[in-house]
Amino acid sequence: MSNIKIKSKNLNVYYGDKQALFDVNLDLNEKEVTALIGPSGCGKSTFIRCINRMNDVIDICKVTGNIEMDGMNINDKDLDVVSLRERVGMVFQKPNPFPKSIYDNISYGPKIHGKGETKSELDQIVENSLKKSALWEEVKDRLDEPGTSLSGGQQQRLCIARAISVNPEVILMDEPCSALDPIATAKIEELIDELKKTYTIVIVTHSMAQAVRVSQKTGFFHLGKLIEVGKTEKIFKNPDNKMTQDYITGRFG
């Protein structure tokens, strides 16, 4: 049994008057992939955005309850959000490389946090990040080309490289393959398998097959509530809850 990295307790999220999450209690294990599934608008993305406090960007969003990483309260008002996000990286649904060169896309994070003070250190970080995201071989000769000139799948791997460039402990992935074709998706999934050796990963996905392929633990959300959570194998073979059963067999959602 691996250690618990992140622990949420009675987590509630409100967008204005609307409640988006209801008393979510979910533990994420260290160096494991946790998949979150559920129909659109069920709160999966809202949940992972609580982990790196991305909900702060939205004015009307209010979060109550407890969410801890290694015993540190993430929801603490006095918490330094910048250093939290340094430890919890994120990859978005649509690849969003900056309109900068491939090199600058990766070196952006380390520079901000003062990592890689010399050019050669920075070069090393960029190379390592690109190698870890399995993009190095494809782009090593054109690091000064704009990141937006890459294909969709490459762009998404570039974004993964950007996320791991600051050496986080946790990586959040919000439907990272929904804008990609099957081949690019397969590459990303392979990459996730590799990355879980170093990082704790949470992935939101609409594809059951993907959840089965990449994750060890799966949580099923419905209408803002965590309906069921458990080992991926169990959730997909023998769920306790009727609703989970219905969803994974495609009867609704």
Give the binding site for other proteins (CB under 8 A): 52, 54, 57, 59, 82-86, 89-90, 92, 94, 96-100, 108-109, 112-113, 159, 162-163, 165-166
Say how many C-beta atoms besides its own lie within 10 A of residue 144's C-beta.
10
Report in angstroms how near the CB of residue 89 gets to other proteins at its nearest. 6
> Which residues, in sequence order, are bridge partners of residue 171?
89, 201
Our CB check for other proteins shows the closer of 34 and 105 to be 105
In the complex, minimum distance from the CB of residue 229 to other proteins, in angstroms, rounded to a whole number: 25
Note every long-range contact of 164-167, with CB atoms under 8 Å and residues 24 or more positions apart, other chains counting.
164/89, 164/129, 164/132, 164/133, 164/195, 164/199, 165/106, 165/107, 165/108, 165/109, 165/110, 165/125, 165/126, 165/129, 166/86, 166/89, 166/109, 166/110, 166/113, 166/115, 167/115
Nearer to other proteins, 155 or 210 (CB): 155
Q: Which is nearer to other proteins, 161 or 229 (CB)?
A: 161
Nearest to other proteins of 107, 218 (CB atom)? 107
- Extract the tokens encoding 103: 């090199």
Residue 169 CB, nearest distance to other proteins (Å)? 13
- 25-54 burial, b at 16+ Cβ within 10 Å, e below that, comes to ebbbbebbbbbbbbeeebbbbbbbbbbbbb
Closest separation in Å from C-beta 212 to other proteins? 27
Q: With respect to other proteins, which residue has the nearer C-beta, 162 or 213?
A: 162
Q: How far is the CB of 82 from other proteins (least distance, A)?
A: 5
Q: Look up residue 146 and give its DSSP letter.
A: B
